[in-house]
Structure 1
Amino acid sequence: MTGAPRVVASGLRFPEGPTPLGDGAIAVVEMKGEAVSRVDPDGTVTRLGDCGGGPNGSALGADGELYVANNGGLSAEGTGYWHAPRQLAGCVQRVDPDGTVTPVTGELPGPAPHRPNDLCFGPDGTLYVTDSANWEDLRNIRPGHVVAIAADGSVAGSAEVPAMPNGVAFGPDGRLYLAQSLTRKILAFAVTGGEFGAPEQILKLPAGMPDGFCFDGDGTLYVCGSIGNAIFVYSGGELKETIETGDGTQPTNCCVGADGRLYVTYGLTGQLVAFDLGVTPAAPHTGSVNAVLEDS
């Protein structure tokens, strides 16, 4: 049974999208802070980039830069919707080591509003981002997309995904795994660049709503149950353990650090926590998107 986590940092403004930086630090986006920040092992928090809008996910690039899925300025919790003071069109942003923030995607597939949610690099360096579409209007929500972004910032291909595509990561089998939040399912796609195969249902959470997730080096899958206040641990498609995080935490996303700990962002309590699991991290995929395109 997994023990209680250690609180690494507090006072974060609706954290999401944790990403290991390779030096023991973890990058997190702060949705309500409209920024991406660095959390050092001693809990020191340093702003890396001022993003505006609603930073929702992050991925580390090949040259130390970060890529941020920015939903344009929207967050949800029990009290209703939050709208960012600085609204923008949903896009992927590049945050360079000097703090420069630039949009690197033009118009995404489908009608606006675009709500980029999470992103990851594939084995070939293609960047994949989920667009959750107009989830602020759940009664009339449209299908979203998972979009492949080439190194020049162009859309290399996409697949339509209904019911709010959310977290995304590559599995040990080389397929792209994706959370379909409104069905509680995790799907998997065979992908090559911008070519997507038909999705396969891998599992369905017993409760909560799948948000962000990650794999460790042994292929164990950790899924943040978000509104269910739990992390569901799967091995070979079978539920291995349920880690209860406590009422009012809202675990939003997770990653495995080089130290073998599972790092989890708690949106509502504003914390980054670490579970000392002693697991092997998965080898990261990386790449770069170098084009600087006008925000559309």
Structure 2
Amino acid sequence: MTPAPVVVADGLRFPEGPSYLGGGALAVVEMKGEAVSRVAPDGTVTTLGDCGGGPNGSALGASGEVYVANNGGLSVAGNGYWHAPRQFDGRVQRVDPDGTVTTVGGELPGPAPHRPNDLCFGPDGTLYVTDSANWEDLRNIRPGRVVAIGPDGSRLGAVEVPAMPNGVAFGPDGRLHLTQSLTRKVLAFEVAGGTFGEPGAVAELPTGSPDGLCFDGDGTLYVCGSIGNAIFVYAGGELKETIETGEGTQPTNCCVGDDGRLYVTFSLSGHLVAFDLGLTPWTPHTGSITAREDS
């Protein structure tokens, strides 16, 4: 039986996109706080960077900086939408240890609005970012994209993905995995230096809407079911376990720490929680992207 989650921090302002920093500390974006924050092992929350807009996902850089997928200032609030006080077209941001926030990768391809959602580094230091497109208008939603950004800030390639591409992560098998929220599927790509192979479905959630995802070192896949209030656990493409999180939690993204815990953001309730599962750690790839405004 899965142990109950331990609350690491509460009072977070629609937390998303956790990244494990080491030593029990995590970076978490606070979408409605327009910031990326550090959560210490004792639950103390401090601001790492004031991002504006709607920080949606984070990835740890090679030199301690944090990269943020910022959707420009949009979230769901009850039966409607929340808009940030400081709105802009979505972008990818770099937050340095001194709090400096810069844009990397320049303007994203395709028509506005751009809604960067999640991001991760590949093994060669390429940064892969999902752009979920105009999901505030689901009836007329356009295909989204996965965009590859090189270390010098230049765009290396992009691929269109319909039905709201969302969470993104590499696993031990070396493939880029991506949730497709409106189909409940998880897709996998062979990628190299920004070149994308053909995607294939590797899992389909029984309910909910797939959001963020992560792997442990054994290749087990954890997918946050968001509005389904559950985390779905897959091994070899088969559903191994469903972890119910309870009404009003809305698990949005997750990561595995070197302490074997599965860390999950409960966006609706404002919690960062940890499941003590004794997992084999998986350390995500890192890289460093130079600020480049003319991409």
Q: Quickly name the TM-score band, shorter chain normalised.
A: over 0.9
The TM-score with structure 1 as length reference comes to: 0.98
Contact 2:154 2:292 in 1 (8 A): no
Q: Matched residues in 2 for 1:249 and 1:285: separation?
A: 29
- Aligned residue for 2:22, secondary structure, equals coil
Contact 2:106 2:292 in 1 (8 A): no
Matches within 5 A, 1:70-109: 70-109=70-109
Q: Matched residues in 2 for 1:249 and 1:3: separation?
A: 17
Contact 1:163 1:180 in 2 (8 A): yes
Q: Matched residues in 2 for 1:277 and 1:80: separation?
A: 36
- Say whether 1:288 aligns with 2:292: no
Per the alignment, residue 160 of structure 2 pairs with: 160
Instruction: Count residues with an aligned counterpart.
Output: 295
Contact 1:147 1:159 in 2 (8 A): yes
Per the alignment, residue 32 of structure 2 pairs with: 32
- Aligned residue for 2:182, secondary structure, equals helix
Structure 1 residue 76, shift from structure 2 partner: 1.1
Structure 2: which amino acid aligns with 1:53? G
Structure 1 residue 109, shift from structure 2 partner: 1.5
Contact 2:170 2:284 in 1 (8 A): no
- Aligned residue for 1:26, secondary structure, equals strand
Per the alignment, residue 225 of structure 2 pairs with: 225
Contact 2:250 2:268 in 1 (8 A): yes
Structure 2: which amino acid aligns with 1:241? E
Structure 2: which amino acid aligns with 1:41? P
Q: Percent identity?
A: 81
Contact 2:212 2:254 in 1 (8 A): yes
Q: Mean Cα displacement is larger for which, 102-111 or 226-235?
A: 102-111
Structure 1 residue 291, shift from structure 2 partner: 2.4
- Say whether 1:178 aligns with 2:178: yes
Q: Runs of 4 or more off by more than 3 Å in structure 1?
A: none
Structure 1 residue 200, shift from structure 2 partner: 0.4
Per the alignment, residue 43 of structure 1 pairs with: 43
Structure 2: which amino acid aligns with 1:255? C
- Aligned residue for 2:139, secondary structure, equals helix
Structure 1: which amino acid aligns with 2:233? V
Could you report, residue by residue, the CA deviation over 1:180-221 in whole angstroms, capped at 9, with x for unpaired residues?
000000000000011100000101100000000100000000
Per the alignment, residue 198 of structure 2 pairs with: 198
Could you report, residue by residue, the CA deviation over 1:56-87 in whole angstroms, capped at 9, with x for unpaired residues?
00000000000000000000143310000000
Contact 1:250 1:268 in 2 (8 A): yes
Contact 1:234 1:241 in 2 (8 A): yes
Q: Matched residues in 1 for 2:30 and 2:214: separation?
A: 19
Per the alignment, residue 55 of structure 2 pairs with: 55
Per the alignment, residue 279 of structure 1 pairs with: 279
Contact 1:34 1:55 in 2 (8 A): yes
- Aligned residue for 2:33, secondary structure, equals coil
Q: Matched residues in 2 for 1:199 and 1:251: separation?
A: 25
Contact 1:75 1:81 in 2 (8 A): yes
Please, which runs of 5 or more residues in structure 2 have no aligned partner? Answer: none
Q: CA RMSD in A?
A: 1.0
Per the alignment, residue 20 of structure 1 pairs with: 20
Contact 1:151 1:291 in 2 (8 A): no
Structure 1 residue 111, shift from structure 2 partner: 0.5
Q: Matched residues in 2 for 1:4 and 1:291: separation?
A: 42
Contact 2:102 2:291 in 1 (8 A): no
Contact 2:189 2:200 in 1 (8 A): yes
- Aligned residue for 2:49, secondary structure, equals strand
The TM-score with structure 2 as length reference comes to: 0.98
Q: Matched residues in 2 for 1:172 and 1:200: separation?
A: 17
Per the alignment, residue 250 of structure 2 pairs with: 250
Matches within 5 A, 1:114-193: 114-193=114-193
Q: Matched residues in 2 for 1:20 and 1:120: separation?
A: 13
Contact 2:147 2:155 in 1 (8 A): yes
Structure 1: which amino acid aligns with 2:110? G
Q: Matched residues in 2 for 1:206 and 1:57: separation?
A: 24
- Aligned residue for 1:88, secondary structure, equals coil
Q: Matched residues in 2 for 1:240 and 1:247: separation?
A: 22
Structure 1: which amino acid aligns with 2:267? G
